[in-house]
Structure 1
Amino acid sequence: MDQYFIGLDVGTQGARVILVNQNGELIASDARKFMLDEHFREEQSPAIWWKDCYEMLRNLFQQRTNDIDKNQIRAISVTSTSGTVIPLDAKNKPLHPAIMYSDGRSAEQGKRCREVALKHVKDGYTGFNASSGISKILWFVETYPENAKHIAKWIHASDYLVGKLSGNYHATDYTNVLKTGYDLTYFRWPKYLFEELGLQESWMQEVVPSGSVIGKLNKELAIEWGIPQIDVVVGMTDGCATQMASGAVKPGDWNTTIGTTLVIKGVTKKKLVDPLGRLYSHRHPQGYWMPGGASNTGADWISLDFPTDLDMLNKAAEGLIPTGLLAWPLKQEGERYPIMAPLARGFAPSDLSQEMLYAANLEGVAFIERLAYEIIEELSGEKVAAIYSAGGGANSAIWLKIRASVMNVPTYKCKEASGAFGAAIMAASNTYYSSLMDAAAAMAKVEKEVLPDPELHAQYEIQYQQFKLKLKELNYIS
């Protein structure tokens, strides 16, 4: 008999809920946009989140699941934005709207947090800035000292939804606490948070592995929705949930998501420490590490420079590769990973046809991706075994072929690589399956396997070395 799992994704402007079975097959889904004001990138009302999520879940159970046995629904988990935090009072009521990850008002506090962390943290995360939860906590305490007297607990965005579902607001997971200052090596809140930054230890949550069951669904909600008191599984950050959905969950597996930017996340056996701060590592629930980094080079150049006739351009590119040309379609000034160059600018030969420039740009992004993975292999001492590809960039068959041949590893296109699906996998990971890796193996589906073309790889090896030489000549890499 099928078992069912719910994934809830609360994003910046809306939310999505899905119901899947133990094989990862989509049974039902719903989505909606939040009614937000013009300040939504700084602050949002958690009550708006809950109102829409409550209504979606109610509709899901009452209108879209008539053909399944609702008694076989097992668990629910939540994903949401990383770095968004909420202060709660002693009755678990928000003292202030959610302070969003995209709120830049805590830039000065972020700088101070980083300076203090660098004095105390040898090989952990110190990359605090305005988007970090710890920076926003410090900003709130210093900006609203009277309200700070009433703080009982600081929680993250997904924790609020988990709390509304289960009543437990006091637990969070490994992924949410990275940017709140938690030490993922020694599993503790470090003393400098309290002794030098002036925070209170009582404000901090209990931290458990991602996928942990932290309660049961509120009895009144279960009765209203006509389902059992299912397990509620601790939430996680949206980037990590997408990684789970891609299937990149065991050592050697990596996920590249190409959207506006290029985001790389994977799994290593050993902790990866980047002295330049380009990469940071989450903790895998099974004890491994999940390093990741983000590049400013992605697929934004396609919508900006090639808004139409993509089918024609992709077909043309098939007959033009390898182009032998050096192009880098960076559309803004500055790059952060794999190159740290705040003044970097993209480049391409002049007087190219649209088709040739498009093909050369596809190759240029693949070269940036390979450079990113070379750094990962160098720092970790571990080989990249496979790449699971997601995002809009994975929809181009010729781009997948180029990337697989440049990297010389199998590349897999994911069928469903969304935050909500990743949350559903987490919901199943310790309630039906024995681990995250077992759940992902059964539920994450590969839509297409692309193997490297040996002849194309040999030609790209020459072109890639020329690409790196060009970056050196421009002083973008040493």
Structure 2
Amino acid sequence: MNVYLVIDIGTSSMRGILYKQTGEKLFHVQLSNKPSFLPGRVEQAVADWEDCLNEIMTQMSRFIKNNQATLQAIFLTAQRSSLICLDSDGEPLMPAIMWQDKRSNEITSELAAYNQMIIEKTGAPLNPVYLAPKISWVKRYLPEIAAKTTTYLSIADYIGYQITGEYLTDYTYASRTSLYNIHEEKWDEELLALFNVEKEELCNIIPPAKSGRKTRREFLGKFGIENDVAFVSAGGDQQCSAVGMGVLNEGDVAVSLGTGGYILSPVKKIKADSAVILNTYPIESHYILESILPTCSSAVDWMRSNFFENLETEEFYSSIKKVLHSNLKTEVIHLPHFQGRGTPDWNNEARAAFLQIDFSVTKEQLLLSLLESIAIELKNNITQIESYTKKSIKKVVVAGGLTNNPAMNQLISDVLEIEIHKGMDAESTALGAFLVGMKALDPTINQEELLKNNPSTEREVLYFPNQSKKTYYEEKKEKWNDFYNKINL
């Protein structure tokens, strides 16, 4: 039996999932590796990921041996914008600066005049999330670290180096650096100079899903694997999630609601637009539009810990269901900007707020207004995607922890006035990496057919807009945007 291993590195955990060639899951390992939230920064020990990788490989190799299987390939997907500094021996010099870390805000503020040029070259606005401002910050404030650093790279690149011995990055990670020219598909000399980065300090760039790479024999030998094993960088986690959700063609939209929210839609023709992010996509001849909500389930968790502190997580999510299934309405407006606002206007100074509160307001109404605000922000961002593509979105596929609640999916459908499809495979990112990897190994494979025949995609649930709530949510969205503009403009 031939098997294929997907390694999926998220923000708070690392997964290993073993698949058969048909896409059937055989074995699953998930290990926690949460970052440390410190005053003004978010960091994680680089050894955490290497330890998780070794444990995943140990458990996988045991399963493979016990089931007389043969590992054919490793497919890797990961979070995209966390920075690791390596010395000449390939050893980390400091904890990783995580994607949520905003210590490079000062750098981006100083370079604000170059924002339009950066958008035109990279497809994304200047933002402390990306690697280039983080590298500039290290060089300015940690010169002793910078002097010893020979390679700046992402988590995916580091784990790829551990597995293959090569310093390579693919387009999907490069396009999250503010250094990659998305039109010319190379590191941009003008951007390198702007951020004070040498090209030699970065990984060489390859297309995602590039075939021909091999796993190091020394790496495999640690786990008793003797045969040759292919390696494929399947692309960034959000891109792979969209693939796993079946978002393969123009006009498709994927919404992933986890700690933060991501809205993704493939396109073929590209142009500069500050209201959306333009990234590369591991589907041939496609780019992908991306919109970001920095705060989603993290805001819901904040609500639970501060207003429903006596409830366990499952009880609290039952409360959400009751609130959404009731006919409760509220005049309360919530702005969910606990970590600033992402797209469409990239307002790092925006802050969360509850508005129109009086003594009659209950915590259930506060909860409802928070959930409504997430759906309204989705609506605002999908409107921007429609403006970019000049096409109306007819269907949205959703995934992520917050969408495991059917009542939340109905709310999203009502606010968006769009048909919502909820797939039942909770591992859409890993599934997408599997689909991309299999296509890399065999270009004749039809990803849509493989996805269609996957048992996990047969139980899709559909949600349709409730027309009786149309006027209520149209008025709520108008009030929401009016309050946001008055406070922030």
TM superposition score category, shorter chain reference: 0.7 to 0.9
Given that 1:8 and 1:424 are in contact with CA atoms closer than 8 Å, whether structure 2 keeps it comes out as no
What does residue 253 of structure 2 align with? Answer: 254
What does residue 386 of structure 2 align with? Answer: 377
Distance 2:378 2:95 in 1: 38
- The answer to whether residue 87 in structure 2 is matched with residue 82 in structure 1 is no
CA distance 1:270–1:461, shift in 2 (3 Å)? farther
What does residue 268 of structure 1 align with? Answer: 267
Distance 1:200 1:344 in 2: 39
Report the residue type matching 2:49 in the other structure: W
Given that 1:114 and 1:126 are in contact with CA atoms closer than 8 Å, whether structure 2 keeps it comes out as no
Which residue among 132, 138, 153 is the counterpart of 1:155? 153
Given that 1:412 and 1:447 are in contact with CA atoms closer than 8 Å, whether structure 2 keeps it comes out as no
How much does 1:356 deviate?
6.7
Given that 1:90 and 1:151 are in contact with CA atoms closer than 8 Å, whether structure 2 keeps it comes out as yes
Report the residue type matching 1:445 in the other structure: T
- The answer to whether residue 290 in structure 2 is matched with residue 282 in structure 1 is no
Alignment of 1:173-212 (within 5 A): 173-180=170-177, 181-212=179-210
How much does 1:233 deviate?
0.8
Which of 148-157 and 184-193 deviates more?
148-157
How much does 1:232 deviate?
0.7
How much does 1:76 deviate?
1.1
Alignment of 1:42-191 (within 5 A): 42-62=42-62, 64-66=63-65, 68-71=67-70, 73-116=71-114, 118-119=116-117, 122=120, 124-145=122-143, 148=146, 151-169=149-167, 171-180=168-177, 181-191=179-189
How much does 1:376 deviate?
1.2
Q: CA RMSD in A?
A: 3.5
Which residue among 403, 419, 436 is the counterpart of 1:394? 403
Structure 2 stretches lacking a partner, 5+ long: none
How much does 1:126 deviate?
4.8
Distance 1:93 1:214 in 2: 26
Alignment of 1:297-316 (within 5 A): 298-299=296-297, 300-301=299-300, 303-304=304-305, 305=307, 307=311, 308=315, 310-311=317-318, 314-315=321-322
Distance 1:39 1:469 in 2: 37
Which of 227-236 and 361-370 deviates more?
361-370
How much does 1:375 deviate?
1.8
CA distance 1:113–1:6, shift in 2 (3 Å)? farther
Structure 1 stretches lacking a partner, 5+ long: none
What does residue 471 of structure 1 align with? Answer: 480
Report the residue type matching 1:388 in the other structure: V
Aligned residues: 467
Given that 1:213 and 1:430 are in contact with CA atoms closer than 8 Å, whether structure 2 keeps it comes out as yes
Given that 2:36 and 2:42 are in contact with CA atoms closer than 8 Å, whether structure 1 keeps it comes out as no
Residue by residue over 1:3-31, the C-alpha shift from the partner in whole angstroms, topping out at 9 and shown as x without a partner, is: 42212123445422111223332211222
How much does 1:461 deviate?
3.0
Q: TM-score of the superposition, structure 1-length normalised?
A: 0.83
How much does 1:96 deviate?
4.5
Distance 2:459 2:212 in 1: 33
Report the residue type matching 1:384 in the other structure: I
Alignment of 1:330-345 (within 5 A): 330-332=335-337, 335-338=341-344, 342=350, 345=353
Residue by residue over 1:93-144, the C-alpha shift from the partner in whole angstroms, topping out at 9 and shown as x without a partner, is: 4454433334433332333455445346536335233322111222233345
Report the residue type matching 1:449 in the other structure: V
SS in 2 for 1:474: helix
Distance 2:321 2:292 in 1: 25
How much does 1:313 deviate?
5.4
Distance 2:484 2:316 in 1: 36
Residue by residue over 1:414-460, the C-alpha shift from the partner in whole angstroms, topping out at 9 and shown as x without a partner, is: 3223544443333323124647844555557264321425xx23x33
Which of 361-370 and 195-204 deviates more?
361-370
Residue by residue over 1:276-315, the C-alpha shift from the partner in whole angstroms, topping out at 9 and shown as x without a partner, is: x342111123122211122256343463545546436525
Distance 1:340 1:113 in 2: 15
SS in 2 for 1:291: strand
Report the residue type matching 2:286 in the other structure: Y
How much does 1:360 deviate?
6.3
Given that 1:242 and 1:418 are in contact with CA atoms closer than 8 Å, whether structure 2 keeps it comes out as yes
Given that 2:44 and 2:98 are in contact with CA atoms closer than 8 Å, whether structure 1 keeps it comes out as yes
What does residue 428 of structure 1 align with? Answer: 438
CA distance 1:59–1:423, shift in 2 (3 Å)? same
Distance 1:356 1:87 in 2: 46
CA distance 1:410–1:124, shift in 2 (3 Å)? same
Q: TM-score of the superposition, structure 2-length normalised?
A: 0.82
SS in 2 for 1:248: coil
Counting aligned pairs with the same residue, the percent is: 20
How much does 1:38 deviate?
7.8
Distance 2:88 2:133 in 1: 22
How much does 1:254 deviate?
1.5
SS in 2 for 1:226: coil
